[in-house]
Amino acid sequence: MMRRSKMFCPIYKWKISQAMDSGKTISSNVHKHMRRCDSCREYAELCTSLKPKFTQDKQAILEDFDESLNKKIMMAIPERAELRTEPRRRTLALIPSLAAAITVLVISVSIIFLSLPRSKQTPPLGPISTLIRAASPENVLLKVESPLENEYTELKRAFESTSKFLISSFDFRIGQQAK
């Protein structure tokens, strides 16, 4: 029976460790085992005594520490100015990646725009779109008088007035003789 309980000691010790690390209490079955197992009881005692012992002895070793190292470290620390250049350098380093990201975004948006199926029927025009249409460059150009047309109108007018003058001077009448 005793031998059998010893067989499970590593498991009980693991359970004791778990309880120590998680800050929970040791379970009743581990307590039951500890009552008859010296090894596990000693281990549990060791675990509880370790924290104060380590803390106390840490103070002792830290007191013996040579403080000259601190001065050495402080001497090795560069000027603040050098530190301040760091974030700027990092920002500058971000610029190419930012530009690349924008380019990719633009390309992908245009690809999506081009690949989207569009309906052949144009949607009905609203009043604003009618105005926009009227203000389109083609319509505006049509309304502007071209110089050739002006010339043509002028010539036409001159021809008409000449013909009227000639008619009145010779006084043509169809079927009658001139006086």
Partner 1 sequence: MSNISAVKQLSDEELASKVASGSQSSFEELVSRYSSRLFYFLRHRFKTDQDIEDLIQETFLKAFRNIDRFNPELKFSTWLYTIAIRQAISRFRSEKKRSTSIDPSPSPPDPQEIVIQKEESQNIWHLASKLGERQYEALWLHYGEDMPIKEMAKILNKKPITVRVLLHRARLNLGKRMDLPIASGKIAGTTPAAHKFSFL
In angstroms, the CA 172 to CA 32 distance is 147
Please report how the helices 38-63 and 9-22 are oriented relative to each other, as an axis angle in degrees rounded to 10: 40
The sign one gets for the Cα dihedral 114, 119, 120, 126 is negative
Calculate ∠ Cα 18-20-26, nearest 5°.
80
Tokens at residue 59, please?
Answer: 């103070």
Q: Are 48 and 20 in contact (CB under 8 A)?
A: yes
Q: How many helices (H) and strands (E) does the chain have?
A: 9, 0
Residues 75-114 that bind partner 1 (CB under 8 A): 76-78, 80, 83, 86-87
How big is the site for partner 1, counted in residues (CB under 8 A)? Answer: 40
Q: Is 18 in the site for partner 1 (CB under 8 A)?
A: yes
Of 29 and 110, the one with the shorter C-beta distance to partner 1 is 29
CB of 132 to partner 1, least distance (A): 52
**Span from 5-13, 102-110, 123-131, 166-174 in contact with partner 1 (CB under 8 A):** 5-13
- x/- letters, 57..76, toward partner 1 (CB under 8 A): xx-xxx--x-x-xx-xxx-x
Binding site for partner 1 (CB under 8 A): 6, 9-11, 13-14, 17-18, 21, 38-40, 42-43, 46-47, 50-51, 53-55, 57-58, 60-62, 65, 67, 69-70, 72-74, 76-78, 80, 83, 86-87
